Chain A
Amino acid sequence: QVQLVQSGAEVKKPGASVKVSCTASGYTFTTYYIHWVRQAPGQGLEWMGIINPSGGSTNYAQRFQGRVTMTSDTSTSTVYMELSSLRSEDTAVYSCAGESGVATKAFDYWGQGTLVTVSS
């Protein structure tokens, strides 16, 4: 079965960077687009960006341009999301979500989420 397994919780200081991983299994890694979505405590879902693991092309939400970098490693079937210049407002659960193409332009598989806490 399709699984997206993310790295563990992180605590970072303001100004630092965080890198969250998402390891895929149960399908051919390069055939699903991977999105990153975050959810601040008690808040709604926010789309951050998308990466095509086949080739590594990306598209980021405008508000994260210049601060987010998404990469993929086909040798380990892992996608990474790095967010820099962290501030307290970046405290959130960060989730990867797979777009298989069966459900067009939708997120049909989700990782378990990674809590990133930004605090001095």
Chain B
Amino acid sequence: QSALTQPASVSGSPGQSITISCTGTSSDVGGYNYVSWYQQHPGKAPKLMIYDVSKRPSGVSNRFSGSKSGNTASLTISGLQAEDEADYYCSSYTSSSTWVFGGGTKLTVL
């Protein structure tokens, strides 16, 4: 099972919006609405930000939103804030009843 494809890095200025893509195949991202997104600050455990493609867990800011089209899922962060600077990972359930992560995207808030 190959890792999902994410851009290595994205950046944006405070207040702007950015989008991180996550591309898989019809056996994972395209085949199920079980894409999730995680935020990880240095030295910390990942934090669930989005599940089921577009649902937010309780307590996660509505500045975070998710979507999917075909084999590509996306995470959008609007109204960028300094504390959003972190690594972001997508994950998908797969047809083998396993899970796969993306390679991760480093978000820099300029």
Contact = CB atoms under 8 A, between A and B. Distances in A.
A97 B51 CA distance: 14
Interface string A10-37: 0000000000000000000000000101
B51 A45 contact: no
A28 B13 CA distance: 44
Q: How large, as a class, is the contact surface on chain A?
A: 20 to 34
A106 B51 contact: yes
B48 A107 contact: yes
B104 interface: yes
A35 B48 CA distance: 14
A73 interface: no
A2 B51 CA distance: 19
A104 B45 contact: no
A103 B57 contact: yes
A27 to B, nearest CB: 15
A48 B94 CA distance: 13
Given A61-B1, A106-B36, A106-B91, A46 B101 contact: yes
A35 B103 CA distance: 18
Contact of A108 (B32, B57, B100): B57
Interface of A: 35, 37, 44-47, 50, 59, 61-62, 95, 97, 102-108, 110-113
Interface of B: 1, 3, 32, 34, 36, 38, 40, 45-48, 51-52, 55, 57, 89, 91, 93, 96-104
